Structure 1
């Protein structure tokens, strides 16, 4: 029995805009889509947080 029977798992590569997608498998494409969707949600959450902070700051300065 060998110590290293299994190949090491490949770490998903970050997606680059404009990258050649022809060499990616269906599984790799699906994984990247999931990662990008999660990143979009994270970005939209941050955008909303900054928007509410800005609105609060504008309201504060309008009252002065």
Structure 2
């Protein structure tokens, strides 16, 4: 089962940036916030990993 399928089973709303929020319940809005916060954390981790890789590569090429 894919992530989208799991979200549907859990009752998570299909959130789209810029969508009309007036159609969502308070609980759906809270779930959307939770999902977005988790996605932000995941993106920040990826940025940190890429920054680390870049710094390591720069050190190797500057040292050589």
Give the TM-score, by structure 1 length.
0.79
- The reply to whether residue 58 of structure 1 matches residue 58 of structure 2 is yes
Greater Rg over alpha carbons, structure:
1
> Could you tell me how far apart the structure 2 residues matched to 1:11 and 1:59 are?
47
**TM-score normalised by length of structure 2:** 0.79
Q: Which runs of 5+ in 1 are unaligned?
A: 1-8
Q: Which runs of 5+ in 2 are unaligned?
A: 1-8
**For the aligned residues, what is the CA RMSD?**
1.4
Aligned to 1:43: 43
